[in-house]
Chains A and B, each alone.
Chain A
C-alpha cells in the first residue's frame, strides 16, 4: 500500500478555487519535491494535508496508509503520523517549547499505544535531537518560537519533526529566509530522517534546497494542477530555464509579459 494517495483533490479559499484536481502518490521511503511559482497552490496543498481550517476541500480523496485523511481533525492527522513544517512557524508566548513538545510527544505516543515518556527520557531524547540541529538548549525553556530568529524558527520546526518522528513529513518552503549555513543544517536534519518507512513532500519555490535534500521525484504545480513530473533532473531544468521554459508564469511575471 502507498503511504499517501492524493486523488483528484480540489480545494478553495472563500470563492476562489486553488487546487483544481491534484493526483499524487507517495510510497514509503520516497521524497517528492513540489515546485511551482508563487500562487500556484503549493502552500494550500500542504495546508490541506495538515488540516488547516482556512481551506475548504470541495472534492477528491486523500488516503494515508489507506485511511481517509480528510475526515480527521488536525491533531488526529498528526497522531497518525503527518507532520507539517510551517512556512511561517507560529509564535506562542507563554507556552514553553519544552512543555509544548512534551505534550505533543506524549499525545502521539499514547495514540500509538506506547508509554508516555517521563521527564528524564524526554530530556535525553530532546538533547540528542538538538545536537543534530545544532540548537542552543536554552531555546527549550523559551516560549514557542517567540523572539526566535527566522533561522531558529525553521530549525525548531525540523527539530520538532525529529522528535515526533512522523510517517509523512511535509516541508512548506523550509528554505525560505535561510542563509546557506542554516540551509545546510536544516537539510542535514531532514536527510538524517530519511528512511525506508518515511515519506516526504518538500514544497519549494527554488531548486537550491533540492541540492541539499535530493528528491526521488519532482512535480511542477501550476494553477492548481500538477503539470509536469519527473526525476531530480527536472529541478535542474527548471533552474536553467525558469518556470517560463515550461510556459508557466508567476503572477508578477505575468504582469510583465503583457
Chain B
C-alpha cells in the first residue's frame, strides 16, 4: 500500500503541475486522473496485459515534463473528445489526465479529400514521456485518408490515443506507421466509432520500439464495414502486443481482420483479437486471421482469438498460424540461381505482401516497400 500511495503522490504532483485549462478540459483530466489512480499501471496478472510487462515503461512515464503554456483545445472537440476511448484502459486514462495539445481534424460532411492527411509525432526528449492525442471527426458521406506516423530517437515513452468518429456512409482509411526508436516504449489506442453504412479501414504497421502495445477498437453500426489490418516486424528483444476489439453492436455489419507478424531473434509478439457480436447484431459477417512467420528458434508468439457471440444468425471465422520459411520454396528459388540469402529475403517479403498490397496510398506503399526491403537485406544470415 505504501508503494502505491507513494506512486500516487508522485503522480498527483505531476498532475497538479499542469497549467490550468478551461473547465471542460479540467473536468476530463480530473475524471481520468481519478480513474488512473484507482487502477495504477497494469501488471501481468491482468488478463489484458498477461503477456506484456509494462514495468520498464513506468519509470519513463513518470518523467513527463509539464507543459509551459495552457492547453489550446478547440471548442469543436468538446462534444467528442474522450467520449469514445475507455478510461478502463489505464494508459488511455493516463493520456486523458494529461490532455494538452489535441490535434483535431474535421472533415466536413460530403467532402472528398484526395490527398491523405498526414500527422507526424516526433518522440519526446530522452527519458521523458509524451501523451499525443488525436481526434478525427469525419462527417457523413465524406471520404478521407489519414496517416499517423510515430518516430523518434533514444529512450522515451509515447502514450498515444486517437479517437475517430466516422459518420454515416463516410469512408475512412487510417494508417499508423510506428517507427519509433528501438529503445522507445510505445503504447497506443485507436478507438473508432463507425456510423451506419460507413466503411473504415485501419492499417497498423509496427516496426520500431523496444516495447509496443497497440489497441485497435472499433464499434460498428448497422451495415458498416471494417477492415482491420496489421503488420509487425520484430527482431532482437523487441516486444510487440496487438490487441484488437471489434464490437458488432448492430446487424448486417462486416469486419475483416488480418494481422501478420515476422519475428526474429528473441523477439516476442502477442496478438489478441476480440470480436463481440451483440444480441442485436444478426447477419454479422466477421473474419479474423493472424499469421506469423518465425525466423529464429528463440522468438515467441502468443496468439489468441476471443469471440463473444450473443446473436445466432452470424458468420464468424478465425484462424491463427505460426510457421517458418518453407524449405521447398527456398530450394525452388535457389534452383533458379537465386542465392540463399536473397531467396530467404524474397520469401519474407512475400509473406508481408498482402498487407502491403492493402495500402492504397501509393507513396506510403512505396516507402514501406523500401523500408521492408532494406530491413530484410540488412538481415544477417
Contacts and interface: CB of A to CB of B under 8 A. Distances in A.
Interface of A: 50-53, 73-75, 77-79, 83-84, 86, 89-90, 92-95, 100-101, 103-104, 107-108, 111, 143-144, 160, 164
Contacts of A84: 335
B370 to A, nearest CB: 15
B336 A164 contact: yes
A104 B351 contact: no
Contacts of B343: 75
Prevailing SS type, chain B contact patch? helix
B380 interface: no
A128 to B, nearest CB: 19
B334 interface: yes
B350 interface: yes
Interface in B326-346: 326-329, 331-340, 342-343, 346
22 contacts: A74-B331, A74-B334, A75-B334, A78-B337, A83-B335, A86-B332, A90-B331, A92-B333, A94-B350, A94-B351, A94-B353, A95-B349, A95-B353, A101-B336, A104-B333, A104-B336, A104-B337, A107-B339, A107-B342, A108-B337, A144-B332, A160-B336
Contacts of A52: 331
Nearest to A166: B337
A107 B337 contact: yes
Contacts of A73: 334, 340
Interface of B: 326-329, 331-340, 342-343, 346-347, 349-354
Nearest to A89: B332
Contact of A53 (B329, B331, B354): B331
Contact of A51 (B326, B328, B334, B338): B334
Given A53-B331, A75-B335, A101-B336, 18 more contacts: A51-B331, A73-B340, A75-B334, A75-B337, A75-B343, A86-B332, A90-B331, A92-B333, A92-B350, A94-B347, A94-B349, A94-B352, A95-B350, A95-B353, A100-B333, A100-B336, A103-B338, A108-B337
A78 B331 contact: no
Given A50-B335, A89-B332, A92-B329, A75 B340 contact: yes
A177 B150 CA distance: 53
Contacts of B332: 86, 89-90, 92, 144
A84 B334 CA distance: 11
A90 B338 contact: no
Contacts of A86: 332, 335
Contacts of A74: 331, 334-335
B337 A53 contact: no
A111 B340 CA distance: 15
B337 A164 contact: yes
B329 A90 contact: yes
A230 to B, nearest CB: 30
Contacts of A90: 326, 328-329, 331-332
Contacts of B336: 78, 100-101, 104, 160, 164
Contacts of A111: 337
Contacts of A89: 332
A108 B349 CA distance: 22
A95 B332 CA distance: 12
Nearest to A110: B337
Nearest to A106: B337
B346 A95 contact: yes
Contacts of B351: 94
A144 B328 CA distance: 13
A78 B349 CA distance: 23
Contacts of A143: 350
Contact of A104 (B327, B338, B350, B352): B338
Contacts of A51: 331, 334-335
Contact of A75 (B326, B327, B338, B353): B338
5 closest pairs, A vs B, by CB? Answer: A94-B350, A94-B353, A78-B337, A104-B336, A74-B334
